[in-house]
Structure 1
Amino acid sequence: MTGNKETIVVVGGGFAGMNFIKRIDRDRYDVILVDRNNFHSFPPLFYQIASSGLEPASISFPFRREIRKMKIKPRFHMGEVKLLDIADKKIVTQFETIHYDKLVIAAGTTNNFFGIEDLYKYVFTIKSTGQAIRCRNEILDRLERASNSTDPDIRRKLLSFTVIGGGPSGVEVAGAIGEMKRYILHREYPTIKSDELSITLIEGSDRLLHTMSGTASRYALKYLKSLYVDVHLQKTMQSYRDNIITFTDGSTMYSEMMVWTAGVTGETFEVRGGELPTGPGHRFLVDEYNRVQGHDDVFVIGDLALHTDDLYPRGCPQLAQVAIQQARNLARNLNSDCMEHPFVYNDKGSMATIGRNRAVADLRHMHLTGFPAWFTWMFIHLISILGMRNKLVVLTNWIWAYFSYPTSLRLLIHPGRYPLRSRWGER
């Protein structure tokens, strides 16, 4: 740090954090990025890691490699932020204390279990690369164990998969497992009968993809059924214990593996020396310039920012495009040293894929389904991935998978346990 420039600390290196760092004037500001990982990842494709469609490295990009390309380089500090001290203008991680002049919080969201007791102990989630890898390993492990079993009842129990949540993530995960059932099972696991693997998608509302158009919902349901996914609408889960799902209407269902995609909530921090007001979902209340209410030196961008207006009375949707646009707008304002450009969200549409040639897309002036939507989805996601190598790897995998489902990515690799690492909570 030069000492004669203001220091901006950015918490979180996702879509919002990385776009802000790239566009902030580093001639004017010293920039420090803090993240619990040493890489940027691409959350829209976590489900493809979970279903063995892509390798983790193909949608991840080291922060230090990206920083190396910049003419005036920010600094990167790996650590999980535990404390925000507003009065003394510092953040505290498990490793160090970092002082700031301006703070930009772009930490994103985590899983929301809606107060269901101990649910996090029993379900699989895909909100990070590590969680997606864990989910992939569990699916592959169950397939291998079922293929060795001679008892059909045991095989059915091992291969009972349930996805909770009918939003884009839930639809994509269920569709990916459905593709494994339809196209992979008889080729690579011939001892398992197709009807022994069950995939159930549970959604609490009256349709899938509730934030998208009715056309998208109808086609998503159609595509999932073609992949042998059993969809239950207007079903709300109450508890999950001993592999039994209990619903609020009193009905129950057996499932040995549950993937939870039903909701998100903001990452939380201990705040000292002041108050950072929050709203629903632990999102920070911000003004039209992404300043936290009551603070001129603390900003929030991305999924954690909650600014309400007539168009979005519940805040902007928690989408990548919102994060990217907020980051660019905040950098523009700070570069000019004048908050003269209020944030206005430019909605470019939303999309979801349910497998090869099966996708839905709500664009600004049209609704796409089938192959056109799938091709559009691939193009948009491909250009959004960091790094030319990663783009080429993902494109190659997709092309190969399009013409031939066999892949070398279905590797069951369990990490070694020892030596013990105290940071992992091992004893």
Structure 2
Amino acid sequence: MSTKQKIVVIGGGFAGLNFVKKIDKSKFDVTLVDKHNYHTFPPLFYQVASSELDPTSICFPLRRELRKRNCHGVAFHIGKVRKIDVAAKTISTDYETTHYDKLVIALGTTNNFFGNKDLIKDVYTLKSTDQAIRIRNEILFRCERAAVEPDNEKRRRMLSFVVIGGGPAGVEIAGAVGELKRYILKRDYPGIAPDDLSITIIEGTDRLLGTMSREASDTALRDLNQLMVEVKLGRLMKTYNDNVITLDDGSTIYSEMVIWTAGVTGVPIEFSGTDYKAGRGGRFPTDHYCRIAGLEDIYAIGDIGLMTTEKYPKGLPQLAQVAIQQGRFLAKNFNSGKWEKPFNYVDKGSMATIGRNRAVADLHSIHLSGFIAWLAWMFIHLISLLGMRNKINVLINWIWAYFSYNTSLRLLLAGSKYPKRGELWDKG
């Protein structure tokens, strides 16, 4: 029987994967649990949604990653976590119940509809590979359908797109659709006039990219305008019914496809054996050592953790760099058994791309924009991907698309509905 303490990690994203890479497997028995059998790279979801990258280029099998030397000994269990029993120290997934001595929650976030739960049935979201594929298929279908539609008004309604949220994800997907309008339609769909396609981005604050510098916001606004994207600032969506968006000022916009990027909330988890509830934004408040306040032997890292500091009184930003650094920090503390030095987030800057040769980057006191920022954005994202094959595939796709203004990935592919999966013998 092993005398090592068992650490269960929920979530194979940036935080969870960096934790299991750095944890000393000779001291701990480590199990990684995730509802998918692959790691994804969320910053490039929009490129899958816009047919610029294949989904397999931004995903990497977790079992293959765990075969590497620095992960040797880590077990992987597939399953969506349904409940955490704090008293019994167990987690329950769709398929099993697993005991833990220490629990690390690195689930990340999901879409936040700010209390309007009905929106999930009406809008498209961009928080997973599946959702990105769904957006890609819908955009391509609408272009194909509009290309054979003789009625001008019907065609314009089919190609009415609205993006809710002016953060990096919203700006990037709006820019991608803008490039479709400006560069792709006239070549691939000669029967569709560029003016038939409308793309609008709605942001509730007075500027785009609110977490970045004012200069970055102004550059993003200018670039989106050049891509024929209409930008509405200082406006909130109140309702979306019968393809009509009603804004807080009473104005309306017709749109048959709304892409929601307006907010995120922590992935919900049910707790038993305690009356603990998640904090603001569905996140778990932690101390400066990633320990969840009020729960013993349970830690939260990455987007789902809420660690406040003097510089970040509302919590550390929900960025990949925070997740990566916290995963490594927590593993280091477990390995040493010392909890003396608190977590210190090192801000390496932020960036966003608006389209071809269009990007912005805030690197401490340095601001980059245009072609240089675009190259920096591509380099950082390329080296951050898992797997050499993925890196090469993405680089080749980017180079080919840059010189040809084309992509071979504009394929309308949807999974078959039938037959359904056979029932497992132990389904009960």
Q: TM-score, normalised by structure 2?
A: 0.97
Residue 359 of structure 2 corresponds to 359
Is this contact kept in 2: 1:33–1:75, CA < 8 A? yes
Is this contact kept in 2: 1:125–1:131, CA < 8 A? yes
| 1:293 counterpart = 2:304 | no
Residue 188 of structure 2 corresponds to 188
Residue 311 of structure 1: how far off its partner (Å) = 1.1
Map residues 313-352 of structure 1 onto 2, 5 A cutoff. 313-352=313-352
Residue 50 of structure 2 corresponds to 51
Is this contact kept in 2: 1:8–1:102, CA < 8 A? yes
SS of match in other structure, 2:7:
strand
Amino acid at match of 2:282: H
Q: Distance in 2 between matches of 1:250 and 1:281?
A: 28
SS of match in other structure, 2:69:
coil
Superposed CA offset, 1:135-154 (max 9, x none): 00000000000001111111
Q: Distance in 2 between matches of 1:420 and 1:245?
A: 36
Residue 64 of structure 2 corresponds to 65
Residue 78 of structure 1 corresponds to 78
Residue 96 of structure 1 corresponds to 96
Q: Which moved more, 1:169-178 or 1:402-411?
A: 402-411
Is this contact kept in 2: 1:157–1:255, CA < 8 A? yes
SS of match in other structure, 1:118:
helix
Q: Distance in 2 between matches of 1:288 and 1:67?
A: 28
Is this contact kept in 2: 1:11–1:33, CA < 8 A? yes
| 1:35 counterpart = 2:40 | no
Runs (5+) with no aligned partner, structure 1: none
SS of match in other structure, 1:401:
helix
SS of match in other structure, 1:294:
coil
Distance 1:241 1:109, change over 3 A: same
Q: Distance in 1 between matches of 2:349 and 2:290?
A: 22
Superposed CA offset, 1:173-217 (max 9, x none): 000000111111000000000100000000010010011100000
Is this contact kept in 2: 1:277–1:293, CA < 8 A? no
Residue 25 of structure 1: how far off its partner (Å) = 0.4
Residue 401 of structure 2 corresponds to 401
Q: Distance in 2 between matches of 1:247 and 1:208?
A: 17
Is this contact kept in 2: 1:276–1:293, CA < 8 A? no
Q: Distance in 2 between matches of 1:349 and 1:156?
A: 40
Is this contact kept in 2: 1:11–1:107, CA < 8 A? yes
Q: Distance in 1 between matches of 2:251 and 2:11?
A: 41
Amino acid at match of 2:68: K
Residue 20 of structure 1: how far off its partner (Å) = 0.4
Q: Which moved more, 1:370-379 or 1:269-278?
A: 269-278
Is this contact kept in 2: 1:203–1:236, CA < 8 A? yes
Q: Distance in 2 between matches of 1:109 and 1:401?
A: 31
Q: Distance in 1 between matches of 2:276 and 2:81?
A: 15
Map residues 22-421 of structure 1 onto 2, 5 A cutoff. 22-70=21-69, 72-421=72-421
SS of match in other structure, 1:353:
strand
Amino acid at match of 1:241: N
Distance 1:283 1:99, change over 3 A: same
Amino acid at match of 2:18: N
SS of match in other structure, 1:318:
coil
Q: Distance in 2 between matches of 1:327 and 1:277?
A: 23
Amino acid at match of 1:333: N
Superposed CA offset, 1:319-378 (max 9, x none): 000000111100010000121221111011110000010000000120000011101101
Superposed CA offset, 1:259-280 (max 9, x none): 0000000001110012445321
Amino acid at match of 1:65: R
User: Across the two proteins, how many residue pairs are aligned to each other?
Assistant: 422
Is this contact kept in 2: 1:35–1:77, CA < 8 A? yes
Superposed CA offset, 1:92-141 (max 9, x none): 00100011110000000000001124101000001000000000000000
Is this contact kept in 2: 1:285–1:307, CA < 8 A? yes
Q: Distance in 2 between matches of 1:110 and 1:8?
A: 24
Superposed CA offset, 1:217-271 (max 9, x none): 0000000001000000011000101100011211111000000000000001110
Residue 3 of structure 1: how far off its partner (Å) = 2.0
Residue 295 of structure 1: how far off its partner (Å) = 3.1
Residue 389 of structure 1: how far off its partner (Å) = 0.6
Residue 420 of structure 1: how far off its partner (Å) = 2.2
Superposed CA offset, 1:370-395 (max 9, x none): 01110110111111100111011111
Q: TM-score, normalised by structure 1?
A: 0.97
Amino acid at match of 2:98: I
Q: Distance in 1 between matches of 2:150 and 2:421?
A: 39
Q: Distance in 2 between matches of 1:313 and 1:278?
A: 18
Q: Distance in 2 between matches of 1:189 and 1:264?
A: 35
